[in-house]
Homo-oligomer: A and B are copies of this chain.
Amino acid sequence: MRKGDTLCFAKPPVIGAFAAVGGKKEGEGPLKDGFDQLYEDNYLAQDNWEKAERALQSACAGHLLRKGQVTRAQIDLAFAGDLQAQCTASGYAMRDLNVPFAGLYGACSTMAEALGLAACLASAGLGGNILAMTSSHFCAAERQFRTPLDYGGKRTPTAQWTATAAGGCLVRPVGEGVKIKAVTFGRVRDYEVSDINNMGAAMAPAAAHTLLQYFRDTGTGPEDFDAVYTGDLGQVGSALLARLLAAEGLELARHRDCGLLLYDQADQQVQAGGSGAGCSASVLAAHILPQLLSGRETRVLFMATGALMSQTTFLEKETIPGIAHLVELESPAVRG
């Protein structure tokens, strides 16, 4: 049922399985125990970083099939996307997986977009096992969006660290698992930030918009949730989100940002925090869903944020539009 921009599922589909894989730095961070697999070598034994990212997705899909106890033949559809130009990490990973595939591009908002669309199709009875997955790779992203690492460019304090990680979920119409109660697909917002080393600021307005829209659509507020998880606003974007919400009279007490959860801010030198499509996806699978599954949290919002620019639009001096998609998640401990 639609309420404003929010789709509420009368019979909420469930996340039957979830998985996260990551690289070296992710394996040194506070969430390392939540990952299904961690790689010491960020090349993943491939001959370039783009292939390494593809291998992250393939590994993540493998864990999803194993944990969900399904074969490839039982996957009805996969939603996947990534940050590489023309989403090639997903395209090539899906070549190997050989399942029906609908490619997405939502930049770092992709995990929430994929999860939301998977929930829509599952709730409509259009699939029994729908995969939602995304990834990012620090080295592949840096040379694409900023400068190749070999240049040794200095990182600014507002810069965020693109996660080398993939995360995914297996969505089912019914069964055991965390429930997907609702989804809000976001609208593009642009506050005319043009600094590609300050993505958090570019994405915060979209996050504020989608969150306020969801609260308005559903008649809820921050107090109704154990936590509101944003995708990867980092320190700068999180502070800006708080300011934007305060201007609307809203205080977000239990706000957590995936970009600030994945790494140790004091020790891991990630500047303003983590980012990348794989950041929120892996934090979802390595931290948020386990919290809900155990009942330590019962009701949360997961809102991944994306910056919709490219190297070309940056060179053409365009500002950076942001988008945020939101998914409402409920613990299976909540009966009813």
Contacts and interface: CB of A to CB of B under 8 A. Distances in A.
Contact of A91 (B121, B123, B188): B188
Q: How large is the interface on A (under 10, 10 to 19, 20 to 34, 35 or more residues)?
A: 35 or more
Nearest to A320: B91
A100 B309 contact: no
Interface stretch (A29-37, A76-84, A160-168, A234-242): A76-84
Contacts of A190: 95
A114 to B, nearest CB: 10
A150 B185 CA distance: 40
A87 B94 CA distance: 19
Contact of A104 (B105, B116, B125, B128): B105
Contacts of A312: 50, 84-85, 88, 144
Nearest to A213: B100
B117 A2 contact: no
A267 B25 CA distance: 58
A313 interface: yes
Contacts of A92: 308, 313, 318, 321
Of A87, A144, A184, the most chain B CB neighbours within 10 A belong to: A87
Given A98-B188, A102-B185, A91 B124 contact: no
Interface in A42-59: 48, 50-51
A118 to B, nearest CB: 11
Contact of A124 (B103, B116, B126, B184): B126
Given A2-B76, A127-B2, A88 B309 contact: yes
A106 B105 CA distance: 9
B102 A113 contact: yes
A85 B50 CA distance: 15
Contact of A103 (B76, B126, B308): B308
A316 interface: yes
Contacts of A121: 120, 124
A50 B317 CA distance: 12
Contacts of A251: none
A188 B105 contact: no
A264 interface: no
A185 B117 contact: no
A225 interface: no
B91 A187 contact: no
A227 to B, nearest CB: 24
A132 to B, nearest CB: 12
B99 A187 contact: yes
Contacts of A103: 81, 104-106, 113, 308, 323
12 contacts: A5-B76, A5-B100, A7-B126, A77-B185, A84-B312, A87-B105, A88-B308, A88-B310, A90-B105, A92-B318, A92-B321, A103-B104
Interface of A: 1-2, 5, 7, 48, 50-51, 76-77, 81, 83-88, 90-92, 94-95, 98-107, 113, 116-117, 120-121, 123-128, 144, 184-190, 308-313, 316, 318, 321, 323, 325
